[in-house]
Structures are given as C-alpha cells and as structure tokens.
Amino acid sequence: DGRIGRMAVLAAYRGHGIGEALLEALVQAGRQLGLAELPLHAQLPARDFYARQGFLPEGPECEEAGIGHQQMRRRLQAVAAIDSRTEAVAITTAIIHRARRRLWLHSRQLDPGLLDAPPVQAALRRFVTARHDKQLRVIVHDAAAIASAGAPLLALFQRLPSVIQFREVADPIDRALASACLLNDAGDFYFRLIGHRLDGESAIALPARSQPFEQQLQRVWDRSRECSELRALGI
C-alpha cells in the first residue's frame, strides 16, 4: 500500500544526508509503482526530518509503545490541501529545504507566525548561507511596515543582500493582489489565495503545476521596485 515502515541509519553515519537519500529513493520507488501517496507513522523526534522532504502531518499526535508518533503523508501525483498552521510550517520548511538554487516568496508582510517559526528559520539560514550560488527573491507590499516590525528575514537580508533580494509591488494591479506564494526550482509550491490566512494548496515535485505561479511572480517582480531602504542596518 506504499506505507513506509521503519527507517534507520547507524549512529556513526547520521548527519551526512544518508537518511534523506534513502527516503528519496523510497519516494522514487513509489513513483515508479504509480502510487498516489506515501503514508508513514513518524516518531516525534523524526517529524521535522520527514517534513523537510514534503511529508505533511495528519491528525493529532499519538503514543505507540511508549513513544510519541505522528501520522504523515506525501502526495506524489496531486495537490495537497493545507488547512492548519502545523501543515503550513511543514510545507514551508520543505519548499525551502528542497530548493536547489532559487526561491520565490510573495508575502504582503512576511507572514508573522509562519516565516519566523523555528523550523522555517533553520531552513532559511541553511539555504542562504550554503556555499553554492543561491538566490531568494522576496516580493512584499509594505516595506515600511516590515522595517518597523523587524522580521527575522529582514535581518538575514541586511547581512546577505547578494543572496536575498527584496522588491515592493508598485503597479496598482499588483498592489491589489491578496494572494501569497512560496515556490522553488524543484517543482514545489505553496499558494494561498487569501494571503493573510494559512489555508491553501501545495505540491512537491510537480513542476507543471508550479511553473504558472513562477511565471506570474516573474511578471510581478519585473514591475516592482527595489527596496534599497531595507538594506540599512538599524544601529
């Protein structure tokens, strides 16, 4: 039925990407079998590991053999609905973690409560400080409000302006957009029609579905102005 049962890496070999490679091999095997989804029952300490690979939590935590567990699932061929903050944090973390070289973020005011969640912040720091050439393009609607709020992403931008680029929408049509979107160059996306809410739709490794969102963000980016005023550190 496609259920992933037990995964383990010898203690001496952990922290080297072996677990992620093993999990990706299982995902590819599921695709080759034509499975629509892969469910698993994760121990709570491993929940973030699976979330980084696009497995979304489902339902409440439970206890099994005295150990806390979380049911999780990754869809392979279809869009998944995001209905809770827990799911929103998981899919946001996955999209950032799985990005190869480019990330797009369209958010009116940098989504307090989502982008500042610890797993998301850890993924962002890992992405922007990686050795390979990386680029995070951020489109916002109110740069002044973001500056006064002092969002964590703004602090990263001020330290790494060559990696993170900010633009503020200028065209009246773009300013009327109420949606929010996060996507990467691996075919992953998380789109919210109403940007101040977390419910929306997402997909992992479905480039045909993510490409129209990227094309739209590129058009908005081209019409927007550079937020040079956000570069100044508050000293």
**Model pTM?**
0.91
Looking at 8-166, list the stretches that DSSP marks H as alpha helix, in order from N- to C-terminal side.
18-32, 47-51, 85-98, 118-128, 143-149, 152-159
The two structure tokens encoding residue 98: 């799985």
Pairing of strands 164-168, 80-82: unpaired
Distances (CA, A) of 26 to 23, 37, 68, 139: 5, 11, 23, 35
The percent of residues in the chain predicted with pLDDT above 90, rounded, is: 72
Average pLDDT of span 69-81: 94
The two structure tokens encoding residue 99: 């990005």
Which one is predicted more confidently, 163 or 184? 184
pLDDT of residue 21: 95
Query: Which residue in this structure is represented by tokens 């093993």?
Result: 22
Phi-psi region of 43 (alpha: psi -120 to 50; beta: other; left: phi over 0): beta
Rounded to whole angstroms, how far apart are CA atoms 117 and 15?
22
Rounded to whole angstroms, how far apart are CA atoms 132 and 200?
31
Helix (H, G, I), strand (E, B) or coil at 227: coil
Rounded to whole angstroms, how far apart are CA atoms 94 and 56?
9
Sorted by where each starts, the structural domains of the chain and their CATH numbers stand as 11-75 (3.40.630.30), 80-231 (3.30.870.10)
Question: Is residue 82 a contact partner of residue 202, using CB atoms and an 8 Å limit?
Answer: yes
Rounded to whole angstroms, how far apart are CA atoms 104 and 124?
12
pLDDT of residue 62: 87
Q: pLDDT tens for residues 21-63?
A: 999 999 999 999 999 999 999 999 999 999 999 999 998 888 8
pLDDT of residue 27: 95
Residue 106 has pLDDT above 60, yes or no: yes
44 Cβ contact partners less than 8 Å away, ≥ 6 residues apart? 61, 67, 68, 69, 70
Helix (H, G, I), strand (E, B) or coil at 158: helix
Pairing of strands 102-106, 80-82: unpaired
Q: pLDDT tens for residues 183-217?
A: 999 999 999 999 999 999 999 999 999 999 999 99
